[in-house]
Amino acid sequence: MSRPILIAPSILAADFANFGAVCETVEAQGADWIHVDVMDGHFVPNLTFGPAMVAALRPHVKTCMDVHLMISPVDPYIEAFAEAGADRLTAHVEAGPHLHRTLQAIAGAGCKAGVALNPATPVESVHDILDMVDLICVMTVNPGFGGQKLIPSALPKIARLRAMIGDRPIRIEIDGGVDPATAGLVAAAGGDVLVAGSAVFRGGSVGAPDAWGENIRAIRQAAEAEV
Ligand code: DX5
Ligand code: ZN
């Protein structure tokens, strides 16, 4: 295995009434990061939660709280999410006209900075900010909902991005439709942080979490076999 694979369960697919226990339990079952999907009902056609939820989760997350901001505008909320305790803030290329300014603001607020690409957004759109991020999130579904099927054209796109990154220390995060059947494909193409919602939280519960651990191991094994 040449690249370590990280698994980042998305709590979007978990019990909204029990997120604190969900985070602690899924970390105990092998999650590397906790992926938190923030949606505004405007940039994407769904609503989830804001900085108050991130602050409430903070004491329950020991690993990395990976906050995916599907909101536009994004700049006015960066400070609030940083103060809430996010470790990483990932903003979309499409969220505003000044990606460079957004990434400066994230770093200035003390968070690790990531950038996300929608399925129709070319990899070239991040070419000139590569030195400002250590993670690029490739959306492999249209953002807004869990449980969608991976878009196959994303696979060559991931490979193009991996080639463009070269030897820079930048992780490629894959978000959408990752399960044991697709994990090997996205890892082979160049992905190394695999977000998975429905494929992790399928079956099992806080009271019976073994299924979550088995699901994480199945995704990790399928990915590790290809890197
Ligand atoms: C989609 C979100 C994803 C989502 C993935 O807009 O960004 O993180 O939760 O869900 P699955 O793994 O079910 O495709
Ligand atoms: Zn996400």
Residue 172 lies in a domain: yes
| Whole-structure pTM value | 0.98
**What distances in angstroms separate CA 176 from CA 78, 83, 138, 144, 173, one per listed residue?**
24, 27, 9, 10, 10
Residue numbers of the domain that contains 97 = 6-224
Question: Is 224's pLDDT higher than 60?
Answer: yes
Give me the catalytic one of 40, 175, 179, 192: 175
Between CA 95 and CA 91 the distance in angstroms is: 7
Interstrand relation of 6-9 and 33-39 (parallel, antiparallel or unpaired):
unpaired
- Gap from CA of 115 to ligand 2 centroid (Å): 11
CA distance 50 to 128: 30
- Whether 74 is in a domain gets the answer yes
The predicted-structure confidence for 54-87, as pLDDT tens digits, reads as follows 999 999 999 999 999 999 999 999 999 999 999 9
Residue 82 lies in a domain: yes
37 is catalytic: yes
Q: Do the domain assignments include residue 30?
A: yes
Residue 130 lies in a domain: yes
Provide the pLDDT for residue 1: 54
CATH number at residue 206: 3.20.20.70
Please work out whether the CB of residue 148 comes within 6 Å of at least one atom of ligand 1.
yes
Q: What is the pLDDT of residue 111?
A: 98
Q: What is the pLDDT averaged over residues 10-33? A: 98
Name the token pair of 10. 């998305």
- The pLDDT of residue 182 is 98
Residue 1 counted as domain residue: no
- The number of domains in the chain is 1
What is the distance in A from the centroid of ligand 1 to the CA of 125?
Answer: 22
Q: What is the average per-residue pLDDT within 37-60?
A: 98
Paired tokens of 154:
């994303």
